[in-house]
Amino acid sequence: MTAIVVIAKECLPGKVKTRLHPPLSLEQAAELAAASLADTLAVASQLPATRYILAFDGVTAPVEASAWEILPQSTGGLDERLAAIFDTLAEPTLLLGMDTPQVSAELLAPVFTDWGDETDAWFGPADDGGFWALALKSPSGTLLRGVPMSRSDTGAHQLRRLDEAGLSVRLLPTLTDIDTITDAHTVASVAPRTRFARAFAGVRASARLQNADFLPTALSGARS
């Protein structure tokens, strides 16, 4: 059986999804982050995990995690914070980010039903070169500590670290992390029934987004 950890920040204006500003206001960016996190927690809650843990950076956890264990994030860079999470746990563990609200329980089901004797890790690459999920059969922070984060080659570095440790890795599908307004449009388009898609439709309809000058070409074309 597998534990699941969602890593998240408190969704406060100016603290989350700041690359969406502009064209969004900081308040709108925080609204979208909260919707994305709510979607992620809803999907994670459907999975047959042994434990449900929110690795949280903030004061007030979202109501969707009211029944979850809250694990305060450690200090340091992202690699240190991720490593500390895996150092805390002993059972097989799936670490899931909060920026892929299009994720589904069906997509993640193999991590809970199909480890097999030959699988040591599952890796979910993001199309920006990072990763949105990482599961380890035998959690160890040494597998992440020192990996350069938030770069276009982060995923490649992380996979290399797993390979150098002699682990057999299976891949999950590549997903889009929401970092930019174009990412937001892409994710809302592929997952139109999510809270995120509804929130994005709301901010697009707001007065701030009625001005096409705020929208990238791909978004402007999608409106016609």
3-class secondary structure, 144:
coil
Give the span between the Cα atoms of 38 and 25, in whole angstroms: 20
The letter for the amino acid at 30 is A
- Measured from the Cβ of residue 155, the count of other Cβ atoms closer than 10 Å reads 22
Q: Determine the pLDDT at residue 215.
A: 52
pTM of the model as a whole: 0.91
| CATH 3.90.550.10 for the 3-171 domain, yes or no | yes
222 has pLDDT over 80 = no
Tell me how far apart the alpha carbons of residues 199 and 210 are, in angstroms, rounded to a whole number: 16
End-to-end Cα, the chain, rounded Å: 48
Question: Residue 194 pLDDT more than 70?
Answer: yes
The model's pLDDT over 55-69, given as tens digits with 9 standing for 90+, comes to 999 999 999 999 999
What CA–CA distances, in Å, run from 146 to 76, 77, 128, 135, 189? 11, 9, 20, 18, 35
Mean pLDDT of the chain: 92
